């Protein structure tokens, strides 16, 4: 097996996940991304089920794809209806796609109890539909729905459904684990047996209800299948489908099946994030290959080892899928984490320089106070930056006051005002602003003071704010940790503040977030160092294992 055809069904199966509803424009953009990646087939939807999918197929004709074929999805003809008169089948032809996928029942239980027809009629429905579409010069995939359950219950009948599709001229017989209940060795056994009985090429379509979708897909391919279906990020009904962002790199790097241009594969992480954005889904940080944490190292021993040989704690090269190596700072870190984080931001620190030791000392003190820098890399970057002679503060606080006033008990609204006095470039700025809460008022006052001098601040948005009580036994006097997330058009970053006073903790995180964003915008810090820069840093740093 030198190649495998990869079939994406994000636009149909993926959209069946709760919370996902792609617009026509979304679907067209995703189709472009998939074509750029180099998938062989893009299933666009079920034209017979809703007007939106039919409109998508109409508009897609105006889009020139580089290599991917668009596929329309539908079911076999209905029982007791001539295939040419079936509205669902006609809609497949009207979609005008070069390929179609027909789903048919392969589990005898479904044929009799769900379709309410006879086993013989079900076979005729499969044969008639496939042969009719082949006569219209379409490439036809037969999705053998519930095949593994059907094979377990009645193997002879399940095989007959495949034979009916093969006799009708199906190009590929796709074995579907529709309920997601099969295990890898079971899939291996069934695929091998089917392959020994049927000569038509086989495919696999796995759902993830047992967490086995990728494993089942891979073992099916190793057992003789030559076609695999899945979705970007594993989106799909219930627990989802096989994740192509995991499947494709495994095919390419683990099984040696070179189905994708290596340069295009470097866009996989980007495509994963863009599809998540279009689906209005939060990216999965622990997603293999493309997740933010996929090549992230936290323990000091791990960092030291990766510095010497990346493969010591990495099974693949993050660059090959467009991801990057990251190093976290925490109580588990060693000096190596700190040195590398500094290098990521263009700071020339080594273990022998006093600045590195000063950062390590300061970090220990702050961790003891309750600081945590996971998810707050902006604050850590500033900590490192402030340890160097090159750092110059963009503004200095001379004082602030927050007033929270409630005049009449029967009203719920509070009057909140923040007054801030800053020194900015040798001039003193004194401003005040109202807000719907203390943090909002401080944010507005700070921006009011700075935006005239730093207009780029208008692009920096506070997008998340969290408060964590560090020791609940102290009640309202407990120390709190405030985590904020900011973003602009270029990147997203987190900052942290800790204090017994929630206003003080919020101020620390707020100021760090704004100062970090401004410094990055002024190119004093690197925004996103390329993986090649990090590799060079690994070679140059003089590593010492020193646990915090």
Cβ 325 vs Cβ 297: under 8 Å: yes
**Which CATH number applies to 5-278: 1.10.260.40, 3.40.1710.10, 1.10.565.10, 3.20.20.70?**
3.20.20.70
Cα end-to-end span (Å), the chain: 50
Unique residue bearing structure tokens 């005049």:
407
pTM, entire model: 0.69
Tokens of 273: 């994030």
Tokens of 520: 């990055």
Looking at residue 531, its pLDDT comes to 38
Looking at residue 34, its pLDDT comes to 97
Alpha-carbon distance of 288 to 211, in angstroms, equals: 13
Looking at residue 285, its pLDDT comes to 87
Looking at residue 316, its pLDDT comes to 92
- Domain locations along the chain: 5-278
Looking at residue 296, its pLDDT comes to 80
- What is the helix (H) or strand (E) element at residue 418, kind and residue range? strand 415-424
**In sequence order, what are the residues at sequence separation of 6 or more whose Cβ sits closer than 8 angstroms to the Cβ of residue 129?**
76, 77, 83, 86, 89, 102, 104, 168
**In sequence order, what are the residues at sequence separation of 6 or more whose Cβ sits closer than 8 angstroms to the Cβ of residue 254?**
none
Alpha-carbon distance of 117 to 33, in angstroms, equals: 41
Alpha-carbon distance of 36 to 45, in angstroms, equals: 19
User: What residues are paired with 69 via a beta bridge?
Assistant: 41
Cβ 190 vs Cβ 149: under 8 Å: no
**In sequence order, what are the residues at sequence separation of 6 or more whose Cβ sits closer than 8 angstroms to the Cβ of residue 286?**
293, 294
Alpha-carbon distance of 156 to 498, in angstroms, equals: 67
Looking at residue 304, its pLDDT comes to 62
Looking at residue 311, its pLDDT comes to 76
Tokens of 240: 């989802």
Alpha-carbon distance of 372 to 496, in angstroms, equals: 7
Looking at residue 473, its pLDDT comes to 67
Looking at residue 299, its pLDDT comes to 60
Predicted confidence pLDDT, tens digits, the chain (548 residues): 678 999 999 999 999 999 999 999 899 999 999 999 999 999 999 997 788 888 999 888 878 898 999 999 999 999 999 999 999 999 999 999 999 999 999 999 989 998 889 999 999 999 999 999 999 999 999 999 999 999 999 999 999 999 999 999 999 999 999 999 999 999 999 999 999 999 999 999 999 999 999 999 999 999 999 999 999 999 999 999 999 999 999 999 999 987 899 999 999 999 998 898 889 888 898 999 999 889 887 765 666 676 667 778 789 999 999 998 776 655 445 555 566 655 555 555 555 556 666 777 777 777 778 777 766 778 888 887 777 666 778 888 888 899 988 765 556 678 899 999 988 877 888 999 998 888 899 999 999 998 888 888 989 999 888 888 877 666 767 888 898 999 888 888 889 999 988 899 999 999 999 998 888 776 444 433 433 443 444 344 333 333 32
């Amino acid at each position: 097996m030198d190649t495998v055809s990869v079939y994406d069904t994000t636009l149909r199966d993926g959209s069946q996940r709760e919370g996902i509803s792609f617009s026509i424009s979304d679907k067209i953009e995703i189709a472009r991304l998939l074509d750029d990646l180099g998938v062989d087939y893009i299933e666009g939807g079920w034209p017979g089920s809703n007007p939106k999918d039919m409109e998508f197929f109409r508009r897609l004709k105006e889009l020139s794809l580089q290599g991917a074929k668009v596929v329309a999805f539908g079911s076999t003809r209905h029982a007791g209806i001539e295939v040419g008169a079936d509205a669902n089948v006609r809609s497949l032809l009207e979609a005008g796609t070069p390929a179609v996928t027909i789903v048919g029942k392969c589990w005898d239980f479904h044929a009799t109890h769900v379709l309410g027809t006879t086993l013989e009629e079900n076979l005729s429905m499969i044969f008639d539909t496939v042969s009719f579409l082949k006569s219209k010069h379409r490439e036809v995939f037969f999705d053998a729905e519930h095949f593994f359950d059907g094979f377990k219950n009645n193997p002879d009948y399940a095989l007959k459904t495949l034979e009916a599709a093969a006799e009708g001229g199906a190009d590929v017989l796709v074995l579907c684990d529709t309920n997601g209940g099969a295990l890898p060795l079971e899939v291996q056994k069934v695929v091998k047996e089917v392959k020994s009985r049927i000569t038509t090429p086989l495919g696999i379509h796995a759902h993830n209800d047992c967490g086995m979708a990728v494993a089942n897909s891979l073992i099916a391919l190793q057992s003789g299948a030559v076609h695999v279906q899945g979705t970007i990020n594993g989106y799909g009904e219930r627990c989802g489908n096989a994740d192509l962002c995991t499947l494709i790199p495994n095919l390419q790097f683990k099984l040696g099946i070179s189905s994708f241009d290596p340069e295009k594969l470097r866009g996989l992480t980007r495509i994963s994030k863009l599809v998540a954005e279009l689906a209005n889904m939060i990216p999965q940080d622990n997603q293999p290959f493309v997740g933010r944490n996929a090549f992230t190292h936290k323990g000091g021993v791990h960092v030291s080892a990766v510095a010497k040989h990346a493969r010591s704690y990495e099974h693949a090269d993050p660059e090959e899928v467009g991801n990057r190596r990251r190093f976290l700072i925490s109580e588990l870190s060693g000096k190596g984490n700190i040195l590398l984080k500094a290098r990521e931001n263009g700071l020339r620190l080594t273990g022998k320089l006093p600045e590195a030791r000063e950062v390590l000392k300061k970090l220990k003190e702050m961790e003891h106070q309750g600081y945590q820098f996971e998810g707050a890399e902006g604050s850590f970057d500033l900590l490192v930056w402030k340890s160097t002679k090159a750092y110059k503060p963009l503004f200095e606080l001379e004082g602030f006051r927050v007033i929270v006033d409630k005049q009449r008990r029967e009203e719920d609204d509070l009057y909140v005002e923040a007054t801030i006095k800053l020194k900015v470039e040798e001039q003193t700025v004194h401003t005040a602003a109202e807000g719907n809460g203390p943090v909002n008022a401080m944010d507005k006052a700070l921006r009011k003071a700075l935006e005239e001098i730093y207009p780029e601040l208008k692009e920096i948005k506070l997008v998340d704010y969290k408060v964590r009580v560090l020791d609940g036994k102290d009640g309202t006097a407990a120390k709190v940790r405030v985590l904020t997330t900011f973003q602009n058009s270029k990147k997203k970053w987190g900052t942290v503040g800790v204090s017994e006073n929630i206003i003080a903790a919020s101020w620390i995180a707020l100021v760090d977030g704004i100062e970090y964003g401004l410094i990055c915008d002024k190119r004093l810090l690197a925004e996103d160092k390329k993986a090649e820069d990090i590799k060079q840093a690994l070679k140059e740093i003089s590593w010492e294992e020193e646990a915090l």
